[in-house]
Amino acid sequence: MFARGAAGVRYRPTVAVIDLGAVRHNVRLLKPDEVGFMAVVKADGYGHGDVEVARAALQAGATWLGVALVEEGVGLREADIEAPILVLTQFPPGSEADALEARLTPTLYTDVGLRRLAAAAASRPDRGPLGVHVKVDTGMHRVGLPPERATGFVRDVADAGFVVEGLWTHFAKSEDLADPFTEEQTRRFRQVVADVRAEGVRPRALHAANSAAAMALPATWFDLLRVGVAMYGLPPGPGLPKASELRPAMSWKSAVALAKRVGAGEGLSYGLTHRLDREATVATVPVGYADGYGRLMGNRSEVLIRGRRYRVAGTVTMDQLLVECGDDPIAEGDEVVLIGRQGSEEVTAGELAGLLGTIAYEVVCGVSERVPREFVGGKAE
């Protein structure tokens, strides 16, 4: 809605190009032969477009999709995606009927959540036993069931007529390979698995590994990986194996909208926070913080024009930013790369994240809806 003009035409050159070939490459790189692969496509596929990424990931061998919201799962079904979809929290109250109608797989971890799901399932008696995934909190304390309650809960889930198809947990800091906590979480999870099996319940999908664990820690793989950020080609942290083989799927591009000479001593943009030492060409680029290019990037980040890096000069405004280009022959229409490659230079989402004190996840999720996504590499290979 945002991104299109009246006739479906785009007038602004700003676009996020999503390389679905890169998504397929990353899935193939990360998926071990004998282990399933859940493509985590929540938050509109980390800003890349959930439907398109889901299709590409499934083509490359993903076996599951993971979403945060029931709405996201319903959206995938509306796009005729048939793969199993796990909602990574319990269905919110009131959403159960729609979630079941859309054949979304529930996560469960509280008694009240179990009761609500059982009530919703009872009104669909003809549909047969429903598979659910029980989530255990092994130390992150976001959502999940305390390990000591797992056995009793799994029994209650089975008594309510559900099939415990999956048992899973989530790591708090697996990207930090030096921290032993992932090993401790894995140990706690294995204990829960053993306890549950001792009760005679054998979930066929045990899963724990996010991107970092999928890249570095085979002992955490179990039956299924749940991979988000690395599938988009972004390493979740430094020093992880295979990081150099990942291909970033998003490039963010625009073009110079205006190039003009500005005199020595003049200040640029709101607050005049950057002053020219000498006369220079100043390029105006139609990207701003309303597009998700953070205001704090002003005077810090760099963009690529004609294969060279240029610092963003002065404050990033809502819709436009400025670049000081010295005496270089920069002209209206020149491509500007905000994230991605140009010539031999590259700006990564990780580089921008570092400037903002955040992580690449937030940078790509933050590219706003106003920026049209253009998909390339969409055909199956």
Ligand X SMILES: Cc1ncc(COP(=O)(O)O)c(C=O)c1O
Number of chain positions touching ligand X (CB under 6 A): 11
> What is the closest distance, in whole angstroms, from the C-beta atom of residue 360 to ligand X in the complex?
10
Stretch that binds ligand X, among 50-58, 228-236, 290-298, 327-335 (CB under 6 A): 228-236
Asked whether 134 and 156 are in contact (CB, 8 A), the reply is no
Closer to ligand X by CB, 66 or 75: give it: 66
> What is the closest distance, in whole angstroms, from the C-beta atom of residue 256 to ligand X in the complex?
34
Stretch that binds ligand X, among 113-121, 225-233, 282-290, 303-311 (CB under 6 A): 225-233
Find the catalytic residue in 31, 42, 135, 253.
42
> What is the closest distance, in whole angstroms, from the C-beta atom of residue 61 to ligand X in the complex?
16
55 scored as a contact of ligand X (CB under 6 A)? no
C-alpha dihedral (253, 378, 50, 223), degrees to nearest 10: -130
Among the listed residues 285, 283, 282, the one whose alpha carbon sits nearest the alpha carbon of residue 254: 285
220 scored as a contact of ligand X (CB under 6 A)? no
Cα–chain-centroid distance for residue 32?
Answer: 21
Catalytic (active site) residue 260: no
Q: Apex CA 242: angle with CA 84 and CA 374, to 5°?
A: 60
Q: Of 144, 203, 236, 314, which lies in the binding site for ligand X, with binding defined by CB under 6 A?
A: 236
> What is the closest distance, in whole angstroms, from the C-beta atom of residue 214 to ligand X in the complex?
7
352 scored as a contact of ligand X (CB under 6 A)? no
Closer to ligand X by CB, 164 or 365: give it: 365
Beta-sheet strands, E only, within 49-200: 64-67, 85-87, 104-105, 107-108, 131-135, 163-168
- Token look-up 């793989």 returns 221
15-44 residues near ligand X, rule: CB under 6 A: 40
> What is the closest distance, in whole angstroms, from the C-beta atom of residue 333 to ligand X in the complex?
36
Among the listed residues 123, 76, 125, 142, the one whose alpha carbon sits nearest the alpha carbon of residue 104: 76
Catalytic (active site) residue 270: yes
Q: Apex CA 201: angle with CA 199 and CA 205, to 5°?
A: 140
Stretch that binds ligand X, among 126-134, 184-192, 229-237, 297-305 (CB under 6 A): 229-237
135-174 residues near ligand X, rule: CB under 6 A: 170
Asked whether 289 and 361 are in contact (CB, 8 A), the reply is no
> Which string of b and e fits 341-350 if b means at least 16 CB within 10 Å?
ebeeeebbbb
Q: By CB neighbour count within 10 A (0-12 exposed, 13-18 middle, 19+ buried), where does 249 fall? A: buried
Six-digit token string for 143: 């959502």
229 scored as a contact of ligand X (CB under 6 A)? yes
> Cβ of 124: how many Cβ atoms within 10 Å?
12
Q: Of 14, 185, 211, 269, which lies in the binding site for ligand X, with binding defined by CB under 6 A?
A: 211
* Radius of gyration (C-alpha) of the chain in whole angstroms: 24
Q: Of 45, 203, 228, 288, which lies in the binding site for ligand X, with binding defined by CB under 6 A?
A: 228
Q: Of 16, 69, 70, 88, which lies in the binding site for ligand X, with binding defined by CB under 6 A?
A: 88
Closer to ligand X by CB, 268 or 359: give it: 359
243-272 residues near ligand X, rule: CB under 6 A: none
Which residue has the closest beta carbon to ligand X? 228
**DSSP assignment of 195-244:** HHHHTT---SEEE---HHHHHH-GGG-TTEEEE-GGGGT--SSTT-TTGG
Closer to ligand X by CB, 139 or 286: give it: 139
Among the listed residues 105, 117, 182, the one whose alpha carbon sits nearest the alpha carbon of residue 153: 117
Closer to ligand X by CB, 133 or 274: give it: 133
Closer to ligand X by CB, 106 or 236: give it: 236
210 scored as a contact of ligand X (CB under 6 A)? yes
Q: How far apart are the first and last CA of the chain?
A: 31
> What is the closest distance, in whole angstroms, from the C-beta atom of residue 210 to ligand X in the complex?
4
State how far the Cα of 146 lies from the Cα of 152, in Å rounded to an integer. Answer: 11
**Catalytic positions, please?**
42, 270
| Chain contacts with ligand X (rule: CB under 6 A) | 40, 88, 170, 210-211, 226-230, 236
